[in-house]
Amino acid sequence: MKKWNLLLVMMLAMAMVFAVGCSDDDDDDNGTGPSEPTMQEMMVGSWVSAGANVAPLLVGFYGTDTVRVTFTETQVTTEEHRTIDSLSFSDWMPNQVGTFELGEAPENDIYSISLNYTEAQAYVQEGIIKIVDATPDTLWLEVVLPNLATPPVPSDGFGTTVSGTNVQTYIRE
């Protein structure tokens, strides 16, 4: 009988060791799982808007054919435009270089954004931005010059400036 009791105790001890050793909390993340990337982390990279994705306002007023925007981890942004009159991608207009700042709290995954360009021309744009995590990733941007128009806000969503003709859609390069 003592052998059976000893065997039973050993089996229970093994079962407890196995149960504890197979815990879901082995990844040392305190049970929270992998963290979601921040909006700034998702923005990093190069994005292109071309054809029907170019905001009608840019096509109509400036003859814009393609826009490429790049965001870095250090909050630097570069923007390049190509016009319909250009014959090749080597005919890009001078780069606009500056910095960007995101608003604190998103609403409907839409963030406020401020773009402060310092080269080739100095100006500020304010508006809203959203990234759709898909294949391919898509970035929506609606910004205005705040001295000329009221910037859109996250709670109003996209299409609220210049009769909805100012929404730019970018695809990750």
In a domain, 123, yes or no: yes
pTM across the whole model: 0.76
Domain that holds residue 93: 39-172
In a domain, 161, yes or no: yes
In a domain, 140, yes or no: yes
CATH, residue 147 = 2.40.128
In the chain, the number of structural domains is 1
The string of pLDDT tens digits covering residues 2-51 is 554 433 344 444 444 344 444 444 455 566 677 888 899 999 999 999 99
The string of pLDDT tens digits covering residues 104-163 is 767 789 999 999 999 988 999 999 999 998 899 999 999 999 999 999 999 999 999 988
In a domain, 21, yes or no: no
CA distance 64 to 103: 28
DSSP string, 95-164: PEEEEEEE-SS-BTTBEEEEEEEEESS-EEEEEEEEEE-SSS-EEEEEEE-TTTSPPP-GGG-SS-SGGG
In a domain, 160, yes or no: yes
